[in-house]
Amino acid sequence: MLSGCAAEKEGSPGPEVYQQAPRPVRDGERAVRAPARNSGELLFQVLGVSDGMARTTGSHAEVDAVRGQYVRVRVLVENLGRTSSEVDLREQRLVTSGGFFSPDGPTMTLKRQPLRPELGGGVRLEFDLWYDIPAGLRPSGMVLLGSTPYTTSPPPAAEISLG
Protein backbone atom coordinates (compact mmCIF):
# COMPACT_ATOMS: atom_id res chain seq x y z
CA MET A 1 0.00 0.00 0.00
CA LEU A 2 1.30 3.46 -0.84
CA SER A 3 1.83 5.66 2.20
CA GLY A 4 0.47 8.70 0.35
CA CYS A 5 -2.87 6.95 -0.04
CA ALA A 6 -3.16 5.74 3.52
CA ALA A 7 -5.52 7.58 5.84
CA GLU A 8 -3.87 9.34 8.76
CA LYS A 9 -4.42 7.66 12.09
CA GLU A 10 -6.03 9.66 14.85
CA GLY A 11 -3.39 11.13 17.13
CA SER A 12 -0.64 10.76 14.56
CA PRO A 13 1.96 13.50 14.47
CA GLY A 14 1.48 16.42 12.08
CA PRO A 15 3.75 17.18 9.18
CA GLU A 16 7.48 17.32 9.75
CA VAL A 17 8.91 20.74 10.55
CA TYR A 18 12.38 22.21 10.30
CA GLN A 19 14.25 22.57 13.56
CA GLN A 20 15.74 26.06 13.69
CA ALA A 21 17.84 27.16 16.59
CA PRO A 22 16.68 30.36 18.32
CA ARG A 23 18.99 33.30 17.73
CA PRO A 24 19.69 36.12 20.14
CA VAL A 25 18.56 39.59 19.11
CA ARG A 26 21.24 42.07 18.12
CA ASP A 27 22.47 44.84 20.45
CA GLY A 28 19.71 47.41 20.98
CA GLU A 29 17.11 45.29 19.20
CA ARG A 30 13.88 43.90 20.59
CA ALA A 31 12.18 40.81 19.21
CA VAL A 32 8.78 41.26 17.56
CA ARG A 33 6.37 38.42 18.24
CA ALA A 34 3.60 39.38 15.79
CA PRO A 35 2.38 36.65 13.44
CA ALA A 36 3.52 36.56 9.82
CA ARG A 37 1.14 38.09 7.25
CA ASN A 38 0.63 37.65 3.50
CA SER A 39 0.65 40.27 0.78
CA GLY A 40 -0.05 38.42 -2.43
CA GLU A 41 2.25 35.43 -2.67
CA LEU A 42 4.77 36.89 -0.25
CA LEU A 43 4.70 36.05 3.45
CA PHE A 44 6.24 38.71 5.70
CA GLN A 45 7.40 38.28 9.28
CA VAL A 46 8.95 41.10 11.31
CA LEU A 47 11.69 39.61 13.47
CA GLY A 48 13.06 42.60 15.38
CA VAL A 49 13.18 46.38 15.66
CA SER A 50 15.76 48.88 16.91
CA ASP A 51 14.98 52.57 17.31
CA GLY A 52 16.41 55.72 18.83
CA MET A 53 19.76 55.33 17.03
CA ALA A 54 21.31 58.76 16.46
CA ARG A 55 23.97 57.38 14.09
CA THR A 56 25.03 54.28 12.23
CA THR A 57 28.19 53.06 10.58
CA GLY A 58 28.96 51.61 7.19
CA SER A 59 32.17 50.02 6.00
CA HIS A 60 33.89 53.42 5.61
CA ALA A 61 31.81 56.04 7.43
CA GLU A 62 29.75 56.92 10.47
CA VAL A 63 26.58 58.78 9.54
CA ASP A 64 24.22 60.81 11.74
CA ALA A 65 20.47 60.51 11.26
CA VAL A 66 19.35 63.60 9.31
CA ARG A 67 15.83 63.66 10.78
CA GLY A 68 16.83 62.64 14.30
CA GLN A 69 16.86 58.84 14.67
CA TYR A 70 17.37 55.68 12.72
CA VAL A 71 14.96 52.78 13.01
CA ARG A 72 16.11 49.36 11.83
CA VAL A 73 13.49 46.65 11.18
CA ARG A 74 14.59 43.05 10.58
CA VAL A 75 12.21 41.31 8.15
CA LEU A 76 11.88 37.78 6.82
CA VAL A 77 10.02 37.35 3.54
CA GLU A 78 9.13 34.07 1.87
CA ASN A 79 7.84 33.60 -1.66
CA LEU A 80 5.00 31.09 -1.32
CA GLY A 81 4.46 31.01 -5.06
CA ARG A 82 5.97 28.80 -7.73
CA THR A 83 7.33 31.62 -9.88
CA SER A 84 9.93 34.27 -9.14
CA SER A 85 8.73 37.41 -7.43
CA GLU A 86 10.45 40.75 -6.96
CA VAL A 87 9.89 42.70 -3.76
CA ASP A 88 10.47 46.45 -3.85
CA LEU A 89 11.89 47.29 -0.44
CA ARG A 90 11.42 51.02 -1.13
CA GLU A 91 7.64 50.43 -0.87
CA GLN A 92 7.72 49.03 2.68
CA ARG A 93 6.28 51.54 5.16
CA LEU A 94 7.08 52.13 8.82
CA VAL A 95 4.08 53.28 10.85
CA THR A 96 4.83 55.76 13.63
CA SER A 97 2.98 58.05 16.01
CA GLY A 98 3.60 60.80 13.41
CA GLY A 99 2.68 59.01 10.18
CA PHE A 100 4.21 56.70 7.61
CA PHE A 101 7.84 56.59 6.45
CA SER A 102 9.65 54.96 3.51
CA PRO A 103 13.05 53.32 3.87
CA ASP A 104 15.93 55.78 3.68
CA GLY A 105 17.71 55.10 0.37
CA PRO A 106 21.17 56.40 1.32
CA THR A 107 21.15 54.42 4.57
CA MET A 108 19.95 51.25 2.83
CA THR A 109 22.89 51.67 0.42
CA LEU A 110 25.33 52.43 3.26
CA LYS A 111 24.20 49.25 5.05
CA ARG A 112 24.39 47.28 1.78
CA GLN A 113 20.78 46.16 1.86
CA PRO A 114 19.08 45.14 -1.40
CA LEU A 115 16.45 47.50 -2.83
CA ARG A 116 14.67 45.10 -5.23
CA PRO A 117 15.58 41.49 -4.44
CA GLU A 118 14.12 38.75 -6.59
CA LEU A 119 12.92 35.64 -4.80
CA GLY A 120 12.55 32.37 -6.60
CA GLY A 121 9.62 30.10 -5.80
CA GLY A 122 9.88 28.91 -2.20
CA VAL A 123 12.83 31.21 -1.41
CA ARG A 124 13.20 32.97 1.96
CA LEU A 125 15.23 36.11 2.56
CA GLU A 126 16.10 38.10 5.69
CA PHE A 127 17.09 41.75 5.46
CA ASP A 128 17.05 45.05 7.33
CA LEU A 129 14.91 48.04 6.45
CA TRP A 130 16.46 51.35 7.57
CA TYR A 131 14.35 54.43 8.26
CA ASP A 132 15.45 57.96 9.19
CA ILE A 133 12.60 59.54 11.17
CA PRO A 134 12.19 62.51 13.52
CA ALA A 135 13.42 62.03 17.08
CA GLY A 136 10.60 61.41 19.52
CA LEU A 137 8.41 59.40 17.13
CA ARG A 138 7.74 55.81 18.13
CA PRO A 139 7.52 53.01 15.56
CA SER A 140 4.28 51.07 16.01
CA GLY A 141 3.82 48.94 12.91
CA MET A 142 4.71 48.01 9.37
CA VAL A 143 2.75 48.08 6.13
CA LEU A 144 4.48 45.59 3.83
CA LEU A 145 3.64 45.22 0.17
CA GLY A 146 4.25 42.02 -1.74
CA SER A 147 3.45 40.99 -5.27
CA THR A 148 1.19 38.70 -7.20
CA PRO A 149 2.38 37.39 -10.55
CA TYR A 150 0.44 38.08 -13.73
CA THR A 151 -1.48 41.09 -12.37
CA THR A 152 -0.92 44.81 -12.72
CA SER A 153 -2.53 45.85 -9.45
CA PRO A 154 -0.74 45.32 -6.14
CA PRO A 155 -2.21 42.89 -3.62
CA PRO A 156 -3.54 44.06 -0.24
CA ALA A 157 -0.67 45.04 2.04
CA ALA A 158 0.35 43.02 5.09
CA GLU A 159 -0.08 45.07 8.26
CA ILE A 160 2.08 43.98 11.20
CA SER A 161 2.19 45.49 14.68
CA LEU A 162 5.58 46.09 16.25
CA GLY A 163 3.90 45.49 19.62
Query: Does domain 35-149 correspond to CATH entry 2.60.40.1240?
Result: yes
Domain ranges of the chain: 35-149
Helix ranges (DSSP H) in the chain = 105-110
Per-residue confidence (pLDDT) for residue 4, from 0 to 100: 54
Per-residue confidence (pLDDT) for residue 10, from 0 to 100: 65
Per-residue confidence (pLDDT) for residue 18, from 0 to 100: 87
Residues of the chain with pLDDT under 50: 1
3-state SS of the chain: helix, strand, coil percent to 5? 5, 40, 50
Query: Could you give the CA distance from residue 49 to residue 30 in angstroms, rounded to a whole number?
Result: 6
Per-residue confidence (pLDDT) for residue 82, from 0 to 100: 92
